[in-house]
C-alpha cells in the first residue's frame, strides 16, 4: 500500500474544512517525516506512515487543524531529536502543548503491575481536563496500532489488547465514540480470544444463509411504513461486531439466535418531532418488546448522546433493535464529546447537542477530591466509565442518574452523603423494598433515614457507585479507627525494625506526607486496615534499604528453564518458594505459571502434557519478595498480635497484608501475608511462631483446587 502524502491528507481535511491552513499541515507533514527519517515500524514500513494514518483517522471525525497537526507530530518529542521548544516555535504553543500531552499519556503505564494504576488514571484525567483533544489523538493512535498489531510479538500483542479492552475501549464509549469503542473491542477480541471470535463469525454466516438478506428486507419494510406516515427519513441496517455479539451471549449466558442479537437498524429523521412520529409508526406496524424501550432524547447521556431505542417483534417472533435520532443527534452519537471541535463546510459545526468538554470532564472528576485514597479513586473512575445509566426520580420529580445495577443505597449517597449515612430503608414507587434491590429506569425512590444510623460493612457488597463505596469505607475506618491505629503502629514498628530502623514520629510523618494520607494517624489507620502495606511505608522513607542486596538474584530471573523472552509468575494457589520443587505450566497470554510440585491443581492438567515445562529455582540468594500466606489462630489477649509481628520482623520477614478471618471472644483467626526469601526461611518462621504460647495453630495457606481457572 502506498504511503499517504501531504496532499492526500490535505484533501481529506478540505472535504469538511475548505478553509484549512494547507501550508501548516504540509509543513507539519514534512517536519514529521524529517524527524522520523530512518525509523521503522515492526512491520518494516517507515515509521512516519503511522502518524499520517493517525491524522487520517481524525479527519473522519472532522477535527480542527491543530488536532490534525498534533497527530502528525505526536511521537516527535518522545522518539526523535525534536524538542518542545522547537515544536512551539514552528507550530505554536497550542500544538506544542497538545503534542506534549500525548507524549505524557504515552509514558503512562496504564496496565503496569509495577506502578500505581490509580495514580496513572488520575494523571490521565488531568491530561484530559487540560485539553480533551489529547485523548482523541491517543485513541486514534491506539486504533491504528491495533489495526496493525499482527506485526508485534505475541506477548506484546496480548498486553496491548488487554490494555485496549480494559481502558481505551471503555473510555471511547464513555466519550460517546461508539464506533471507535466497537472497533477497538473487536480488534482486541481478535487477539485475546481468536477461537471465540471465529465461532461467532461461523454462526453468523450460518444464520445469514438461513435467513437471506435480512437487512435489505427489513429496511425496505421500514421505509414503506415511514412513507405511509409521510415521514422523511433515512433507514440503515448493519450487522453488529463479533465482540458485541459475544458480550451479549456472556451477559445472557446463552447462544444467540434472535435477529436482535446480530443486527441493528437506525432511522435518521429531519426533526425531533419526527423521531417520536417514527416511533409511533414502527410500534403500529410491529409489536414493542416490553422493557426494551429507552428515550435518551428526553434524558440524554452525560456525553451528549441522544436517541430513542426500541426493540420490536414481528409475527414470526423475530426481534429487531431500532435506534431513532436526527442527523445532528447522529453526529454526536458518532463522535461523542469530539463533536465540540468538528467542522462542517469550513466552520465549527455549532451542533446544539455537542457537550462542552470541560463540563463533561468536570462531571467525571468533581466527586473525587485530590486527597482521597488513590485505589478508591481508580475503582470509582472505572465504575463510572464502564457503567450504563439508570434514571430514577425523587419524590419531588428531580432526576437522579445512576449506573446500571445501582441500589437505593447508591441513590441515597447520590442525593447527599448525609442521607446515605443515615439510610435505614427505601420505598420504590411507594412500596417498601430491601436495600439490595436493583433500581430500574423511571422508578420513583424515597429514602427512609434515622438518627444514629451508620453504614453497615455488608453495604460494600451491595453498592456499585464509587461515591457510596468511598463514604462507606471512610465510615468503617472511623468506626474501627482506634483499633486500626494501634495495629498499624505494631506493623510499622515491626517493618522498620526489619531494616534496622525505628518507626519514629518523624519517619511516620515523612511517610504520611509521601503517601498523601494527610496525617500520621490516618497512615496508621490505613496500615492497620490493610489498605496500604508496611513495605510501602518503609520504602517511602528508606528506599535504599528496601531495594535488596546487590548479590541477590533479581525476581525476574529467579527461575531457570524458560525460553528466551518468556516471563513467569507464581501460582496463587500454592505460592511456591525458592528451594521447593516446581513445575511450569504454559497459559495463553500469561507466559509460564510456576506451581509447587505437590500442588493439587497439577492433577487437573495431567491430560495436557504439552503445557508442562521443566523448570527449577535459580540457586543462590533470593530477595525477600515472595509473598506467602500463613493462617494463624491466636489468643485474644493484649499484646499478642504485637509480639507476633515482632517475631516475624526478627526473622527478617516483612508483613505485606493482614486480614482477620474470624473473631471469637477467646481466639482470633487471621491470615498474614509475609514476604520471604525461600522455603528455609518459611520453615524457620513457622517453628518460631509455633513456639509462641499464644499461637494455638499455624498452617501455610493453600487454595482449594476449584478456585483457579485452568483454561485461562
d(CA 578, CA 626): 9
Q: Are 575 and 597 in contact (CB under 8 A)?
A: no
> Average pLDDT, whole number, for the chain?
81
- pLDDT value at position 250? 61
* pLDDT tens sequence across 165-220: 877 887 888 777 888 888 999 999 999 888 878 877 877 777 777 666 788 888 99
- Residue 137: Cβ-neighbour burial (10 angstroms; 0-12, 13-18, 19+): buried
Residues 80/86/92/98 CA torsion (nearest 10 deg): 30
Task: For residue 654, give the C-alpha cell.
Answer: 516483612
d(CA 352, CA 394): 28
**Active-site residue (options: 45, 78, 234, 694):** 78
568-570 and 591-596 beta bridge pairing: parallel
Residues 6+ away with beta carbon under 8 Å from 437? 407, 408, 426, 428
- Mean pLDDT across 17-44: 90
Residue with the larger pLDDT of the pair 288 and 379: 288
Q: Residue 605 above 90 pLDDT?
A: no
How crowded is residue 165: how many other Cβ atoms within 10 Å of its Cβ?
A: 19
What b/e sequence results for 266-303 when a residue is b if at least 16 CB atoms lie within 10 Å of its CB, and e otherwise? bbbbeeeebbbbbbebbeebbeeeeeeebbbbeebbbb
- pLDDT value at position 709? 35
* pLDDT tens sequence across 211-241: 667 888 889 999 999 999 999 999 998 888 8
Q: How many CA atoms lie within 13 A of 585 on its CB side?
A: 22
Query: 567 φ, ψ to 5°?
Result: -100, 165
* pLDDT interval class at 579 (50, 70, 90): confident
Phi-psi map region of 323: left, alpha, beta (phi>0 left; psi -120 to 50 alpha): beta
Alpha helices in 3-131 (DSSP H): 6-14, 22-35, 49-59, 65-73, 76-79, 84-91, 93-107, 117-130
Q: Residue 429 above 90 pLDDT?
A: no
* pLDDT tens sequence across 519-528: 898 888 888 7
Query: 698 φ, ψ to 5°?
Result: -150, 130
Q: Which residue has the cell 444464520?
A: 207
- pLDDT value at position 706? 39
* pLDDT tens sequence across 627-679: 999 998 888 777 788 888 888 888 888 888 888 888 777 788 888 999 998 88
How crowded is residue 403: how many other Cβ atoms within 10 Å of its Cβ?
A: 19
DSSP for 151-187, written as a single string? GS-HHHHHHHHHHIIIIIHHHHHHTT-HHHHHHHHHH
Residue 90 C-alpha from the chain's centroid: 37
* pLDDT tens sequence across 382-418: 545 544 567 777 887 677 878 878 999 999 999 998 9
Task: For residue 544, give the C-alpha cell.
Answer: 535504599
Is residue 598 part of the annotated active site? The answer reads no
d(CA 303, CA 295): 15
**Stated pTM of the model:** 0.55
- pLDDT value at position 324? 96
C-alpha dihedral sign at 31, 37, 39, 45: positive
DSSP for 295-308, written as a single string? ETTTS--TT----E
Q: Are 594 and 559 in contact (CB under 8 A)?
A: yes
Q: Residue 351 above 80 pLDDT?
A: no
Q: Residue 91 above 80 pLDDT?
A: yes
Which domains does the chain show, CATH number per domain? 6-192 (1.10.3210.10), 196-339 (3.30.460.10), 361-456 (3.10.20.30), 480-547 (no CATH), 555-617 (no CATH)
Q: Are 194 and 161 in contact (CB under 8 A)?
A: no
Q: Residue 348 above 70 pLDDT?
A: no
Residue with the larger pLDDT of the pair 257 and 524: 524
**Active-site residue (options: 60, 79, 86, 379):** 79
* pLDDT tens sequence across 556-572: 778 877 877 788 899 98
Task: For residue 284, give the C-alpha cell.
Answer: 403500529
Residue with the larger pLDDT of the pair 226 and 256: 226
Residue with the larger pLDDT of the pair 548 and 3: 3
- Taking each helix axis from N to C end, the angle separating 466-479 and 408-415, rounded to the nearest 10 degrees, works out to 90
Is residue 79 part of the annotated active site? The answer reads yes
Alpha helices in 499-559 (DSSP H): 505-514, 520-528, 534-541
Nearest to 403 by CA among 440, 365, 362: 440
Q: Are 512 and 473 in contact (CB under 8 A)?
A: no
263-269 and 233-239 beta bridge pairing: antiparallel
d(CA 337, CA 361): 10
- pLDDT value at position 133? 86
Q: Residue 158 above 70 pLDDT?
A: yes
Amino acid at each position: 500500500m502506498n504511503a499517504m502524502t501531504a496532499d492526500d491528507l490535505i484533501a481529506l481535511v478540505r472535504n469538511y474544512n475548505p478553509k484549512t491552513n494547507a501550508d501548516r499541515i504540509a509543513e507539519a507533514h514534512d517536519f514529521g517525516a524529517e524527524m522520523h527519517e530512518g525509523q521503522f515500524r515492526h512491520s518494516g514500513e517507515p515509521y512516519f506512515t503511522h502518524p499520517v494514518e493517525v491524522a487520517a483517522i481524525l479527519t473522519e471525525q472532522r477535527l480542527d487543524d491543530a488536532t490534525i497537526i498534533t497527530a502528525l507530530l505526536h511521537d516527535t518529542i518522545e522518539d526523535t531529536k525534536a524538542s518542545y521548544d522547537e515544536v512551539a516555535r514552528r507550530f505554536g504553543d497550542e500544538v506544542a502543548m497538545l503534542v506534549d500531552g500525548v507524549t505524557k499519556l504515552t509514558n503512562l503505564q496504564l496496565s503496569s503491575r509495577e506502578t500505581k494504576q490509580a495514580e496513572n488514571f488520575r494523571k490521565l484525567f488531568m491530561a484530559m481536563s487540560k485539553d480533551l483533544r489529547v485523548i482523541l489523538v491517543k485513541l486514534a493512535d491506539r486504533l491504528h496500532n491495533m489495526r496493525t498489531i499482527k506485526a508485534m510479538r505475541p506477548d506484546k500483542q496480548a498486553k496491548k489488547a488487554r490494555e485496549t479492552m480494559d481502558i481505551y475501549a471503555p473510555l471511547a464509549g464513555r466519550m460517546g465514540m461508539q464506533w471507535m469503542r466497537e472497533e477497538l473491542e473487536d480488534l482486541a477480541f481478535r487477539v485475546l480470544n481468536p477461537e471465540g471470535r471465529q465461532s461467532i463469525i461461523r454462526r453468523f454466516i450460518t444464520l445469514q444463509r438461513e435467513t437471506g438478506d435480512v437487512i435489505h428486507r427489513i429496511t425496505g419494510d421500514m421505509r414503506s411504513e415511514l412513507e405511509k406516515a409521510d415521514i422523511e427519513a433515512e433507514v440503515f441496517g448493519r450487522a453488529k461486531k463479533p465482540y458485541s455479539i459475544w458480550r451479549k451471549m456472556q451477559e445472557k449466558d446463552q447462544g444467540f439466535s434472535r435477529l436482535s442479537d446480530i443486527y441493528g437498524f437506525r432511522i435518521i429523521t429531519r426533526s425531533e418531532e419526527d423521531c417520536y412520529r417514527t416511533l409511533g409508526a414502527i410500534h403500529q406496524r410491529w409489536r414493542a418488546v416490553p422493557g426494551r424501550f429507552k428515550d435518551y432524547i428526553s434524558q440524554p447521556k452525560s456525553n451528549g448522546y441522544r436517541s430513542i431505542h426500541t426493540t420490536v417483534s414481528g409475527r414470526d417472533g423475530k426481534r429487531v433493535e431500532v435506534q431513532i435520532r436526527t442527523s445532528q443527534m447522529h453526529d454526536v452519537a458518532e463522535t461523542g464529546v469530539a463533536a465540540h471541535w468538528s467542522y462542517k463546510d469550513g466552520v465549527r459545526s455549532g451542533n446544539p447537542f455537542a457537550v462542552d468538554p470541560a463540563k463533561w470532564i468536570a462531571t467525571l472528576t468533581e466527586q473525587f477530591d485530590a486527597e482521597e485514597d488513590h485505589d478508591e479513586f481508580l475503582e470509582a473512575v472505572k465504575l463510572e466509565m464502564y457503567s450504563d445509566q439508570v434514571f430514577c426520580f425523587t419524590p419531588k420529580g428531580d432526576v437522579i442518574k445512576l449506573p446500571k445495577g445501582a441500589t437505593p443505597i447508591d441513590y441515597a449517597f447520590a442525593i447527599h452523603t448525609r442521607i446515605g449515612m443515615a439510610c435505614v430503608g427505601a420505598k420504590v414507587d411507594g412500596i417498601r423494598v430491601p436495600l439490595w434491590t436493583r433500581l430500574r429506569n423511571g422508578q420513583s425512590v424515597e429514602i427512609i433515614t434515622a438518627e444514629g444510623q451508620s453504614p453497615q460493612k455488608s453495604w460494600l457488597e451491595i453498592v456499585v457507585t464509587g461515591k457510596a463505596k468511598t463514604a462507606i469505607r471512610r465510615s468503617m475506618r472511623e468506626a474501627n479507627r482506634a483499633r486500626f491505629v494501634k495495629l498499624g503502629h505494631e506493623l510499622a514498628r515491626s517493618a522498620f525494625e526489619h531494616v534496622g530502623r525505628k518507626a519514629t514520629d518523624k519517619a511516620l510523618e515523612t511517610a504520611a506526607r509521601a503517601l498523601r494520607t494527610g496525617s500520621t494517624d490516618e497512615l496508621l489507620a490505613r496500615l492497620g486496615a490493610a489498605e496500604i502495606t508496611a513495605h510501602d511505608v518503609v520504602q517511602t522513607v528508606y528506599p535504599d534499604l528496601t531495594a535488596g542486596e546487590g548479590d541477590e538474584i533479581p525476581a525476574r530471573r529467579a527461575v531457570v528453564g524458560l525460553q528466551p523472552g518468556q516471563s513467569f509468575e507464581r501460582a496463587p494457589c500454592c505460592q511456591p518458594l525458592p528451594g521447593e520443587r516446581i513445575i511450569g505450566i504454559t497459559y495463553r497470554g500469561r507466559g509460564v505459571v510456576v506451581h509447587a510440585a505437590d500442588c493439587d491443581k497439577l492433577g487437573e492438567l495431567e491430560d495436557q502434557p504439552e503445557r508442562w515445562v521443566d523448570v527449577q529455582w535459580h540457586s543462590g540468594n533470593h530477595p525477600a519478595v515472595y509473598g506467602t500466606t500463613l493462617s494463624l489462630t491466636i489468643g485474644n489477649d493484649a499484646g499478642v498480635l504485637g509480639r507476633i509481628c515482632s517475631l516475624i520482623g526478627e526473622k527478617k520477614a516483612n508483613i505485606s497484608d493482614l486480614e482477620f478471618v474470624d473473631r471469637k471472644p477467646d481466639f482470633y483467626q487471621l491470615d498474614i501475608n509475609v514476604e520471604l526469601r525461600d522455603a528455609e526461611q518459611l520453615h524457620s518462621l513457622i517453628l518460631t511462631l509455633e513456639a509462641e504460647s499464644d499461637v494455638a495453630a499455624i498452617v501455610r495457606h493453600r487454595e482449594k483446587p476449584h478456585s483457579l481457572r485452568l483454561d485461562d
